[in-house]
Amino acid sequence: MRSAVAGLELLEPRSVNEALRMMRDRGPATPLAGATDLYVHLNSGTLKPRRFVNRWALDELRRIASKRDGLSIGALATFTDCLRSPLVRRRLPMLAAAAREVGGVQIQNRGTLGGNVANASPAGDALPVLAAAEALVVLRSTEGERRVPFSAFYTGYRSTVMRADELIVALEIPPVAGKQWFRKVGTRLAQAISKVVIAAVRDARPRIALGSVGPTVVRVPRTEEALASGASIEQARRILEAEIKPIDDIRSTAAYRRRVAGNLLACFWKETS
């Protein structure tokens, strides 16, 4: 481990309200969930925060419940919780599919949906699902609660509208009509970070979201529009390849990501027809 751990401070709230008070009064304090992302930073010596709020014991944040015909998923629900939940499997099968592709079993047991959203990596596997499902991010602070549409949550590369004293408490997902589809193309078949990840819903109004092809997870309105108004998949594919802005990095190249995204769109269209 590159960083010394001796100088770190861990706060242990017994309730969500206490956690929120700690974040207000003893900040800057960073909320911990499964710590799978934070630990990577700790290990590489790039972790800047010194004080942490451990909420792992706050089971009230882990609940997965039906909300009208949709879902409310507590921010602390792990990927394992998601993929084992009959409710998730019935109402949001593309989330179960994404959860199954995250890391290995250990990461699925510790990694949380809230952590994936807050971490704001463009490669987060659950993010395209939440974008395509048009989820709401439920943020709470000592001042109250607000609901932010997923499409307005990210403001740029690894930045969000969330304030330092706020917690994500849940993700609310409205009922999703139409066939759901998820696919991840990684650098190998398991335990890999996405080169391109896609979640999509086949409906009169198709919804398509991609990860790893831009600074944040993106919806592709022009492509969706084209498909909604009856364009051929070949046309839609060309629009998509122009609409996304992938980059070259150590995992792939921009040209290759464009091509793979186009192929995935074609697969989606074929497999949900």
Partner 1 sequence: MKSVGQRVPKLDAADKATGKSRYVQDLRLPGMLEAKILRSQVPHGRIVSIDVTEAWKVPGVRAVLTAKDIPAKVWGYSKDQVALKGDRVRRIGDELAAVAAPDIEAATEACERIKVVIEPLPAVYGMEAALAPGAPLLHAARGSNLVQTHLYEHGRIEEAFSKAAKIVEGTFVLPAQQHGCLGPAGAIAEWDANGRLTMHDPTQIPFLVQRDLAEALDISPADLRIVQPCIGGAFGARLDLYPHEAIVALLAKKTGTPVRILFSRDEDFQTDPVRPRTIVRLRTAAAADGTLLGRDADILVDCGAYVSWGAMTPVVMVNTFGNFYHCPAARYRARTVCTNTQPTGAFRGFGNPELLFPMETQMDELARALKMDPIDFRLKNANRAEETTPAGGHITSCGFKEVLEAVRTRLKRPAAPAAPHLKRGIGVAAVFHVGGGARIYRSDGCGATVKVDDFGKVVVVVGATDIGQGMETAMAQIAAEELGVDVSMVRVATQADTDIRLWDVGVHASRTTFIAGNAVRLAAKEARKQIEDARAALKLPADAPLDKVVRAEHFRQKGRLITASVFYDPPTSMVDKANHGNVSAAYTWGCHGAEVEVDTETGQVVVKRIVAAHDIGRAINPMHAEGQVEGGVIQGLGYAMFEECVLKDGRMQNGYFLDYRMPGIRDIPEIETVLVETNDPEGPFGAKGIGEPPIVPIGPAIANAIADATGVRMREFPMTPERVWRALRGNR
Ligand X SMILES: Cc1cc2nc3c(=O)[nH]c(=O)nc-3n(C[C@H](O)[C@H](O)[C@H](O)COP(=O)(O)OP(=O)(O)OC[C@H]3O[C@@H](n4cnc5c(N)ncnc54)[C@H](O)[C@@H]3O)c2cc1C
Other residues' Cβ atoms within 10 Å of the Cβ of residue 192: 15
* Cα angle, residue 57 at apex, residues 54 and 62 outer, rounded to 5°: 105
Which backbone phi and psi does 138 adopt, to 5 degrees? -95, 115
In 3-state terms, what secondary structure has residue 42? helix
β-bridge partners, 78 = 112
Binding mask 131-170 for ligand X (x = CB under 6 A): ------------------------------------xx--
Q: Does 44 bind partner 1 (CB under 8 A)?
A: yes
Q: Does 2 bind partner 1 (CB under 8 A)?
A: yes
User: In the range 222-261, which residues lie near partner 1 by CB under 8 A?
Assistant: 250-253, 256, 259-260
Does residue 35 contact residue 53 with C-beta atoms inside 8 Å?
no
For tokens 């593309």, the residue is 94
Binding mask 72-101 for ligand X (x = CB under 6 A): ---x--------------------------
H helix intervals, 111-182: 113-119, 127-132, 150-153
| Interface with partner 1 (CB under 8 A), residue from 189, 204, 230, 273 | 189
Q: Radius of gyration of the chain from Cα atoms?
A: 19
CB of 270 to partner 1, least distance (A): 10
| Stretch of 33-41, 227-235, 243-251, 259-267 contacting ligand X, by CB under 6 A | 33-41
Listing DSSP states for 65-130 in one string gives EEETTEEEEETT-BHHHHHH-HHHHHH-HHHHHHHHHSS-HHHHHH-BHHHHHHH--TT-TTHHHH
Q: Does 266 bind ligand X (CB under 6 A)?
A: no
CB of 204 to ligand X, least distance (A): 30
| Interface with partner 1 (CB under 8 A), residue from 15, 106, 159, 187 | 187
| Interface with ligand X (CB under 6 A), residue from 31, 122, 128, 262 | 31
Q: For partner 1, which is the closer residue by CB, 31 or 186?
A: 186
- Sites of contact with partner 1 (CB under 8 A): 1-6, 43-44, 185, 187-193, 250-253, 256, 259-260, 263
